Amino acid sequence: MTSSEYVPVARDGVGRRRPAPRFPPMLRPRRRVDIVAAALVGKFMKLHRSVGCGIYDRAGFGALAIAAAVASAVTWPGLAGAEGAMAVGIARGGIAKGYATGFAVNQPTVKAARSNAVEQCRRTKSSNADAKSGCEVVVTFRNKCVASAVDPQSGTPGAGWGIGGSQQSADSQALARCRVKAGAERAEFCEVTDRDCDGDAK
Protein backbone atom coordinates (compact mmCIF):
# COMPACT_ATOMS: atom_id res chain seq x y z
CA MET A 1 0.00 0.00 0.00
CA THR A 2 1.41 3.41 -0.92
CA SER A 3 1.32 6.57 1.22
CA SER A 4 -1.38 8.06 -1.04
CA GLU A 5 -3.97 5.29 -0.40
CA TYR A 6 -6.80 5.68 2.11
CA VAL A 7 -7.06 3.57 5.24
CA PRO A 8 -10.66 2.86 6.40
CA VAL A 9 -11.60 3.86 9.91
CA ALA A 10 -14.31 1.68 11.47
CA ARG A 11 -15.63 4.35 13.82
CA ASP A 12 -17.13 6.72 11.26
CA GLY A 13 -16.35 5.00 7.94
CA VAL A 14 -14.37 7.99 6.69
CA GLY A 15 -11.08 7.25 5.01
CA ARG A 16 -8.00 9.09 6.19
CA ARG A 17 -4.80 9.56 4.28
CA ARG A 18 -1.90 7.61 5.69
CA PRO A 19 0.71 10.09 6.95
CA ALA A 20 4.05 10.21 5.14
CA PRO A 21 6.59 7.87 6.77
CA ARG A 22 9.08 9.49 9.08
CA PHE A 23 12.56 8.17 9.50
CA PRO A 24 14.18 8.07 12.91
CA PRO A 25 17.10 10.56 13.13
CA MET A 26 19.65 7.75 12.80
CA LEU A 27 18.10 6.52 9.50
CA ARG A 28 17.74 9.87 7.78
CA PRO A 29 20.06 10.53 4.80
CA ARG A 30 23.15 12.38 5.95
CA ARG A 31 24.03 15.69 4.41
CA ARG A 32 27.56 16.36 3.23
CA VAL A 33 28.15 18.89 5.99
CA ASP A 34 27.13 16.27 8.59
CA ILE A 35 29.57 13.77 7.11
CA VAL A 36 32.41 16.29 7.22
CA ALA A 37 31.55 17.26 10.79
CA ALA A 38 31.58 13.60 11.84
CA ALA A 39 34.96 13.09 10.16
CA LEU A 40 36.41 16.09 11.97
CA VAL A 41 35.09 14.87 15.30
CA GLY A 42 36.67 11.47 14.62
CA LYS A 43 40.05 13.05 13.94
CA PHE A 44 39.90 15.10 17.12
CA MET A 45 38.90 12.00 19.07
CA LYS A 46 41.99 10.13 17.85
CA LEU A 47 44.17 13.08 18.81
CA HIS A 48 42.45 13.27 22.18
CA ARG A 49 43.23 9.61 22.89
CA SER A 50 46.81 9.77 21.64
CA VAL A 51 47.80 12.53 24.06
CA GLY A 52 46.10 10.78 26.99
CA CYS A 53 43.71 13.54 27.98
CA GLY A 54 41.73 12.94 31.14
CA ILE A 55 38.01 13.11 31.75
CA TYR A 56 38.26 16.76 32.84
CA ASP A 57 39.47 17.77 29.40
CA ARG A 58 36.47 16.31 27.54
CA ALA A 59 34.39 19.45 27.78
CA GLY A 60 37.15 21.40 26.05
CA PHE A 61 37.48 18.68 23.41
CA GLY A 62 33.73 18.78 22.71
CA ALA A 63 33.76 22.54 22.28
CA LEU A 64 36.74 22.31 19.94
CA ALA A 65 35.08 19.62 17.79
CA ILE A 66 31.85 21.64 17.50
CA ALA A 67 33.79 24.76 16.54
CA ALA A 68 35.66 22.82 13.85
CA ALA A 69 32.41 21.45 12.40
CA VAL A 70 30.85 24.91 12.26
CA ALA A 71 33.98 26.37 10.69
CA SER A 72 33.95 23.71 7.99
CA ALA A 73 30.41 24.63 6.99
CA VAL A 74 31.24 28.33 6.88
CA THR A 75 34.57 28.23 5.09
CA TRP A 76 33.98 25.48 2.53
CA PRO A 77 31.83 27.06 -0.25
CA GLY A 78 30.76 23.72 -1.71
CA LEU A 79 29.38 22.56 1.64
CA ALA A 80 27.85 25.76 2.94
CA GLY A 81 26.19 26.53 -0.39
CA ALA A 82 27.29 29.06 -2.99
CA GLU A 83 25.34 31.19 -5.41
CA GLY A 84 26.56 32.84 -8.59
CA ALA A 85 25.18 35.14 -11.27
CA MET A 86 26.28 36.79 -14.50
CA ALA A 87 25.17 40.13 -15.89
CA VAL A 88 25.58 41.49 -19.43
CA GLY A 89 25.15 44.99 -20.81
CA ILE A 90 24.84 45.82 -24.52
CA ALA A 91 24.81 49.35 -25.90
CA ARG A 92 21.71 50.50 -27.75
CA GLY A 93 23.55 50.33 -31.07
CA GLY A 94 24.58 46.70 -30.52
CA ILE A 95 27.70 44.94 -29.25
CA ALA A 96 29.95 46.89 -31.62
CA LYS A 97 28.86 50.07 -29.84
CA GLY A 98 29.57 48.74 -26.36
CA TYR A 99 29.58 45.52 -24.35
CA ALA A 100 29.99 44.93 -20.62
CA THR A 101 29.92 41.84 -18.42
CA GLY A 102 30.18 41.11 -14.73
CA PHE A 103 29.73 38.11 -12.50
CA ALA A 104 29.68 37.21 -8.84
CA VAL A 105 30.50 33.82 -7.31
CA ASN A 106 30.31 32.21 -3.87
CA GLN A 107 27.59 34.56 -2.69
CA PRO A 108 25.38 33.70 0.33
CA THR A 109 22.08 34.15 -1.55
CA VAL A 110 20.80 34.40 -5.12
CA LYS A 111 19.73 37.98 -4.42
CA ALA A 112 23.26 38.92 -3.36
CA ALA A 113 24.73 37.18 -6.41
CA ARG A 114 22.40 39.04 -8.79
CA SER A 115 23.09 42.40 -7.17
CA ASN A 116 26.87 41.96 -7.17
CA ALA A 117 26.93 40.70 -10.76
CA VAL A 118 25.12 43.82 -11.98
CA GLU A 119 27.44 46.01 -9.92
CA GLN A 120 30.53 44.35 -11.43
CA CYS A 121 29.04 44.74 -14.91
CA ARG A 122 28.60 48.47 -14.35
CA ARG A 123 32.27 48.71 -13.35
CA THR A 124 33.64 47.17 -16.57
CA LYS A 125 36.63 49.35 -17.43
CA SER A 126 36.83 48.38 -21.09
CA SER A 127 33.23 49.40 -21.82
CA ASN A 128 31.25 52.63 -22.04
CA ALA A 129 28.39 54.22 -20.13
CA ASP A 130 25.79 53.19 -22.72
CA ALA A 131 26.57 49.49 -22.34
CA LYS A 132 26.95 49.70 -18.55
CA SER A 133 23.52 51.30 -18.20
CA GLY A 134 21.98 48.19 -19.76
CA CYS A 135 23.59 45.68 -17.41
CA GLU A 136 21.16 42.98 -16.31
CA VAL A 137 21.40 39.40 -15.04
CA VAL A 138 21.31 36.79 -17.80
CA VAL A 139 21.86 33.66 -15.69
CA THR A 140 22.19 32.45 -12.10
CA PHE A 141 24.05 29.28 -11.16
CA ARG A 142 25.58 27.13 -8.45
CA ASN A 143 28.80 25.10 -8.59
CA LYS A 144 29.54 26.17 -12.16
CA CYS A 145 32.17 28.21 -13.97
CA VAL A 146 31.64 31.29 -16.15
CA ALA A 147 33.67 33.06 -18.79
CA SER A 148 33.51 36.13 -20.99
CA ALA A 149 35.16 36.39 -24.41
CA VAL A 150 35.51 39.37 -26.78
CA ASP A 151 37.22 40.52 -29.92
CA PRO A 152 39.71 43.05 -28.51
CA GLN A 153 39.44 45.39 -31.49
CA SER A 154 37.23 48.35 -30.70
CA GLY A 155 34.06 48.70 -32.76
CA THR A 156 33.75 45.00 -33.61
CA PRO A 157 30.73 42.86 -32.71
CA GLY A 158 32.60 39.83 -31.38
CA ALA A 159 31.54 39.08 -27.79
CA GLY A 160 30.05 36.19 -25.87
CA TRP A 161 29.73 34.52 -22.49
CA GLY A 162 29.57 30.93 -21.33
CA ILE A 163 28.68 28.84 -18.31
CA GLY A 164 29.55 25.21 -17.67
CA GLY A 165 30.41 22.52 -15.17
CA SER A 166 34.12 23.24 -15.68
CA GLN A 167 36.19 26.28 -16.60
CA GLN A 168 37.15 24.66 -19.89
CA SER A 169 33.48 24.18 -20.79
CA ALA A 170 32.62 27.78 -19.91
CA ASP A 171 35.59 29.10 -21.92
CA SER A 172 34.58 27.04 -24.97
CA GLN A 173 31.00 28.35 -24.87
CA ALA A 174 32.14 31.95 -24.50
CA LEU A 175 34.56 31.65 -27.44
CA ALA A 176 31.95 29.94 -29.61
CA ARG A 177 29.42 32.71 -29.04
CA CYS A 178 32.05 35.38 -29.61
CA ARG A 179 33.13 33.82 -32.91
CA VAL A 180 29.57 33.63 -34.19
CA LYS A 181 29.04 37.32 -33.42
CA ALA A 182 32.44 38.33 -34.77
CA GLY A 183 31.91 36.77 -38.18
CA ALA A 184 34.34 34.81 -40.34
CA GLU A 185 36.84 37.67 -40.73
CA ARG A 186 37.25 38.33 -36.99
CA ALA A 187 36.36 34.99 -35.38
CA GLU A 188 39.98 33.98 -34.77
CA PHE A 189 40.61 37.10 -32.70
CA CYS A 190 38.11 36.23 -29.96
CA GLU A 191 39.74 35.59 -26.61
CA VAL A 192 38.58 34.89 -23.06
CA THR A 193 39.05 38.04 -21.01
CA ASP A 194 37.51 37.08 -17.69
CA ARG A 195 36.63 33.83 -15.93
CA ASP A 196 35.79 32.42 -12.50
CA CYS A 197 34.23 29.39 -10.79
CA ASP A 198 31.60 29.06 -8.08
CA GLY A 199 31.55 26.55 -5.23
CA ASP A 200 33.16 23.20 -6.06
CA ALA A 201 33.49 23.80 -9.80
CA LYS A 202 36.91 24.28 -11.37
Percent of the residues in the chain that have a pLDDT greater than 70, as a whole number: 60
Determine the residue type at 51.
V
Determine the residue type at 160.
G
The least confident of 46-50, 103-107, 184-188, 198-202 is: 46-50
Q: Does residue 171 register a pLDDT over 50?
A: yes
The pLDDT assigned to 126 comes to: 86
Which secondary-structure segment (H or E) carries 16? strand 16-17
The pLDDT assigned to 66 comes to: 44
Q: Does residue 2 register a pLDDT over 60?
A: no
Among 139, 142, 136, 132, CA closest to 108: 142
Average pLDDT, the chain: 75
Pinpoint the alpha helices (H) of the chain.
32-50, 58-75, 77-80, 110-122, 129-133, 167-182
Distance CA 113, CA 106 (A): 8
pLDDT tens across 52-79, in order? 444 444 444 344 344 443 343 444 444 4
The pLDDT assigned to 146 comes to: 97
Q: What is the pTM of this model?
A: 0.59
Q: Does residue 49 register a pLDDT over 90?
A: no
Write the CA distances from 35 to 29, 30, 31, 69, integer angstroms.
10, 7, 6, 10
The pLDDT assigned to 80 comes to: 52
Q: Is 113 or 75 the better-scoring residue by pLDDT?
A: 113
Q: Does residue 140 register a pLDDT over 90?
A: yes
Helices and strands (DSSP H and E) totals, the chain: 6, 8
Q: Are 155 and 189 in contact (CB under 8 A)?
A: no
The pLDDT assigned to 131 comes to: 95
- The model's confidence at residue 82, banded by pLDDT at 50, 70 and 90, is confident
Q: Which residues contact 188 (CB under 8 A, 6 or more apart)?
A: 179
Give me the mean pLDDT over the 111-120 stretch: 97
Q: Which residues contact 166 (CB under 8 A, 6 or more apart)?
A: 145, 201, 202
